[in-house]
């Protein structure tokens, strides 16, 4: 019986992580396709972090290392307008 309990715990954790990954993938897509302003992207990032706190409250340091840095880099790369080089 213990073996099945561990398996179900594993599946439950996988579902949580897939949900979080889906949220992050959509946000990355929106940023890369320039569907959001910088302000909207910042709001969505904050919403994603709040959702992550519900899903993985004990792993927020890892979340910040992976996703927050990724979002910032994508905003810098795709949303911040740099002067045109002449």
Q: Are the beta carbons of 19 and 48 closer than 8 angstroms?
A: no
Q: Is residue 86 part of a domain?
A: no
**Full domain range(s) for residue 31:** 2-79
pTM recorded for the entire structure: 0.81
Q: How confident is the model at residue 3 (pLDDT cuts 50, 70, 90)?
A: low
Mean pLDDT of all residues belonging to the chain = 90
pLDDT digits (tens, 9 = 90+) for 53-66: 999 999 999 999 99
pLDDT for 74: 97
Q: Is residue 74 part of a domain?
A: yes
Number of separate domains in the chain? 1
Q: Is residue 62 part of a domain?
A: yes
Q: Is residue 6 part of a domain?
A: yes
Q: Is residue 85 part of a domain?
A: no
Q: Is residue 37 part of a domain?
A: yes
Q: Is residue 84 part of a domain?
A: no
Q: Is residue 46 part of a domain?
A: yes
**Region of residue 85 (left: phi > 0; alpha: psi -120 to 50; beta: else):** beta
């Amino acid at each position: 019986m213990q073996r099945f309990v561990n398996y179900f715990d594993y599946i439950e954790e996988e579902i949580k992580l897939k949900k979080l990954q889906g949220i992050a993938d959509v946000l990355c897509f929106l940023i890369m396709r320039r569907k959001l302003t910088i302000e909207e992207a910042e709001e969505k990032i904050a919403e994603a972090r709040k959702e992550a706190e519900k899903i993985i409250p004990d792993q927020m340091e890892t979340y910040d290392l992976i996703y927050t840095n990724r979002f910032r880099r994508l905003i810098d790369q795709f949303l911040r307008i740099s002067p045109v080089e002449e």
